[in-house]
Amino acid sequence: MDTKNSLYGCSCLFYGFRMMLKDGYRMYTLLPVLINTVIMIAGMYFFMGAISSGTDRALSALPDWLSFLRWIIIPLAFICITLISAYLFVAVEGIVMSPFAGFLAEKAEEDLTGMKRPQPEIPGGRYPAYLAGVAWHSLGRTAKSYVFYLPRALLCCLVLFVPVIGQLLFPVLWLVLSGWWLAMQNLDYVFDNNGISFDEMSDSMKRSPVQVASFGCLTAAIAAVPVANILVLPAAVIGAARLFITDGRLNGSAGPRAGYDR
């Protein structure tokens, strides 16, 4: 296992896909996937209509002597708007996933290290309140990643207003930004389980930029593909747990966490 290999982050995501439907993981993945499927179908119906009408209005505003640009603008606009809509779905899916993701990351960490985390003693009648508290805490941590992402995503979208050049640059900028954000969002669950603050996690990510970027950009690329973007988030939570466990620059140790044997 070479955690310094630039593609190691990608292998962690593939590990997540291999594990997400195995025993012990399905209970945390199937319900969010079902909810997100319904959201995606409704969203695709809305956005396809918006893409068609918006492109028609933009092209009708072109003077006749620039009509040749329609053959450039139409495919670029479709790609850019598809990317935006895909990541809007992912943003909503992340909110749906967050109450389950902490438990999923904990399960992955236990399997990877072979060490079970001590569970708090909760009276039976208090268990629903405990789960609600965990879900609320997870949503709060997730919100911090959106505070990081949304202003930068808005600035990135402004690039689209630069004719032709903006449409060419936008997919690259969007992939890099969204990749870092998705890595941040999915690493946050395992960092939180280990009592590490959001700000400390952000600093740790900068110490392993190649692995974080390769993991995040592959996640972002898959998230741009309809249907695949429904499945990628549970896999990314598990993959992020593996990346945290095995990369000493992320977990603050000299190498893999104690107990790791894979």
Average pLDDT of the segment spanning 127-147: 74
Cβ–Cβ < 8 Å for 2, 205: no
Average pLDDT of the segment spanning 128-138: 68
Q: Of 254, 231, 262, 256, nearest to 244 (Cα)?
A: 256
Average pLDDT of the segment spanning 240-251: 91
Cα distances from 223 to residues 85, 122, 219, 228, 246, in angstroms, run 11, 37, 6, 6, 24
Residue 84: pLDDT band with limits 50, 70, 90: low
Share of the chain above pLDDT 90, in %: 24
Check pLDDT > 50 for residue 262.
no
The region of weakest confidence among 49-58, 149-158, 175-184 is: 49-58
Check pLDDT > 60 for residue 236.
yes
Burial of 65 (0-12, 13-18, 19+ CB in 10 A): exposed
Residue 85: pLDDT band with limits 50, 70, 90: low
Rounded to the nearest 5°, which phi and psi values hold at 208?
Answer: -135, 60
pLDDT of residue 203: 93
Cβ–Cβ < 8 Å for 161, 144: no
Check pLDDT > 70 for residue 65.
no
Check pLDDT > 50 for residue 261.
no
Q: Of 219, 91, 196, nearest to 145 (Cα)?
A: 91
CB hemisphere CA count around 232 (13 angstroms): 27
pLDDT tens per residue, range 144-173: 888 998 899 888 878 877 776 777 788 888
pLDDT of residue 81: 65
pLDDT of residue 224: 79
Identify the residue with better confidence: 15 or 47.
15
pLDDT of residue 251: 84
Check pLDDT > 60 for residue 123.
no
